Amino acid sequence: MGTTAKALALLDQFSIDRPEIGLSDFHRLVGRDKATVHRYLTELEQAGFVEQDPVTRVYRPGPAVLRLATIRETCFPLKSAVEPVVRAAAKELGELVHFSLLQGGALAPVAHHDPHQHGTAVFFDEGAMLPLHGTASGISMLAFGPDALWSGIGAAPLRDFTGQTPTDEPTLRRLSEAARDAGYALADRTFDADVVSVAMPVFGPHAAASGAVAVAAPAGRMNDALRERAIETLRRIAPVLGQSLGGRMPAKTEAQDA
């Protein structure tokens, strides 16, 4: 990873839960020395990617992020195209549905909807990146995405989020193979201790997965019946979402669905 990529990677630490971050917290989160982190932040601030509060000295996303997001959505509308599909699926199932796209070695959420039909809901932070090893969406990406994704697995220790998170490559390979055979990935309390999720790949223009769509529910509600309904819904909407990316289903997957 080059210097520019390392600097830009600091932006991945922002989320809805963590919209402002101080220098010491950046140092702790990314594991780099403070002098280097400060140099990266200074360069990002000069380019408008972050701004610093003059009183608290914490950093937050800058105006350049908003400008680029506006250009992206205006010229290549995606969020506005996928949100109605995600919302309709969530209302149909009565559970949280979310769609994310591959960004580097993680997934960036694009759209989500929770119809709030139950007293207990799954918390979802659309501003936080989803790890490949700990989520159904991530396992789906490892199963159907570019082979290069595996180069990042094992390069550094993988975080165990719940005590049940797969953190070694052999286990992830097995889960990936199972997902390829089934056409979907299942994550049982591997990212959130009380959540079970089901995910399917969303294919881009080169017949490789560019993202994933998932249904997440509290473990106590994700019974066999809900899981089967979720799989049916995901199987129906994944190609629709793929069309928003100019996607093309690989021949093998098309044959399996026929």
Q: What is the per-residue pLDDT across 19-65, written as a single tens digit (0 to 9) for each?
A: 999 999 999 988 889 999 999 999 999 999 999 998 999 999 999 98
User: pLDDT tens-digit profile of 2-16?
Assistant: 788 889 989 989 888
pLDDT of residue 242 exceeding 60: yes
Share of the chain above pLDDT 90, in %: 69
pLDDT of residue 200 exceeding 90: yes
Domains of the chain (ranges, CATH numbers): 3-68 (1.10.10.10), 77-257 (3.30.450.40)
**Residue listed under structure tokens 């972050």:** 50
pLDDT of residue 239 exceeding 50: yes
Distance, C-alpha 256 to centroid of its chain: 26
Residue 258 is predicted with a pLDDT of 43
Q: Which residue has the higher pLDDT, 226 or 2?
A: 226
Q: Which residue has the higher pLDDT, 73 or 209?
A: 209
Say what the pTM is. 0.75
